[in-house]
Amino acid sequence: MTIVVYEMRDSESGSVENENLEAGEVWNVTKKYLIGQCPDGMAQVKDEIGEYLPRYWQSAAGYWRRKSMSIKSIGKQCFEVTGEYTTLIPNLGGDGQQQQPEDTRQFVPGSIAWDTTGATEHISNALAERIIGGDGSDDFGGAINVQGTNVAGIDKVVPAMKYSETWIMPSSVGVSYDFVQAVYTATGTVNQNTFRAFSPGEALFLGARAQWSGDQPYVTVTFDFEARPNDDAYYVKALPTARKEGWEYPWVVYRTVDDGHGLLIQRPSVLIINQIYRKADWTPLRIVATSPGATRSGSLAAAAETAQQVNAFFNRGT
């Protein structure tokens, strides 16, 4: 029995999604066929239609993956079959040329997200104090919320920024053991060199996340950071100012003294600034050289080239 297959008129309709990626687009295409003379039903249809709806499909525009296939009976051993395909298309670089999967020297910068809602930091010493009552001789040196010999302190809102970047990389790099190891090693370090708008010591690398479908030549990798500003004149009342980098931790040692009237009070004696995170060179992250969001030369030419590729893809075979 001869199997009959017809491609429907609305086959290869599609959509383009940005998925919050400045650097790339996800193309979706639907292919539709009518297939007849399949008395064994769905199992036979799935076998026979494989030539027209393969799991993977290579074209000039990209490497397509079949997300799903639906089979609908329309009677008399005939079926309507729909295949959904998707592929990731990176935007063109500044030279008007599309990045190639094997190009491991330069990746495509993508989206940026930031949040400056701040963070809290526990402090035990105030910038200034007002003493109401007494004879004016009581001076706690800025100590906050002193209870006997205990300086309880308070939680204070301090400047902070949560910052992330998403990059599109060749999968040969983005999921390689060497690159994953480099990202893993850099997690929990602060910037040794200036990074974006952050001076050395201000940015903390929280780690990165990636997801790869296993059949695309590109992978999107999102890097997360948090930043706190350096302070060249960190101040504790009654002590000299000192330089404190963003992710260093300051704390104060208080000593018990007599205020001269028989009252024992707490006064700051020593400021200690601890380094918590080691500094690291973030060059192995492979994103340091080029900043996302920057205006790239040749963008109009690149846009025109992209339009030509889209038209060529949807008009092929006509």
pLDDT digits (tens, 9 = 90+) for 273-314: 889 899 999 999 988 866 665 444 433 444 445 445 545 554
3-class DSSP assignment, residue 212: coil
Beta strands in 76-118 (DSSP E): 78-90, 108-115
Q: How confident is the model at residue 145 (pLDDT cuts 50, 70, 90)?
A: low
Q: What is the pLDDT of residues 262-272, one digit of tens each?
A: 677 777 888 88
Q: Is 229 exposed, middle or buried (0-12, 13-18, 19+ CB in 10 A)?
A: middle
pLDDT tens-digit map of 173-203: 888 899 999 999 999 999 999 998 899 999 9
User: Which neighbouring-strand residues pair with 271?
Assistant: 252
> What distance in Å separates the CA atoms of residue 310 and residue 61, rounded to the nearest whole number?
8
* Structural tokens at position 41: 């039903």
State the pLDDT at residue 126: 65
The string of pLDDT tens digits covering residues 36-48 is: 888 888 888 888 8
Task: Work out the percent of the chain whose per-residue pLDDT is above 90.
Answer: 22
Average pLDDT, stretch 61-90? 84
Average pLDDT over all residues of the chain: 76
Are 235 and 127 contacting, i.e. CB atoms less than 8 angstroms apart?
Answer: yes
Higher pLDDT, 173 or 143: 173
Q: Domains, the chain, ranges and CATH?
A: 4-90 (3.30.70), 99-293 (no CATH)
Distance, in Å, from the CA atom of 26 to the CA atom of 225, rounded to the nearest integer, reads 26
Q: Is the pLDDT of residue 144 over 80?
A: no
Helix (H) or strand (E) holding 29: strand 24-36
And the tokens for 27?
């193309």
What's the one-letter identity of residue 136?
G
Top pLDDT among 270 and 103 is at: 270
CA-based torsion, 172, 175, 181, 183: positive or negative: positive
Confidence of residue 104 (pLDDT cuts 50, 70, 90): very low
Indicate the range of 91-105, 181-195, 212-226 predicted with least confidence.
91-105
Mean pLDDT along residues 124-137: 61
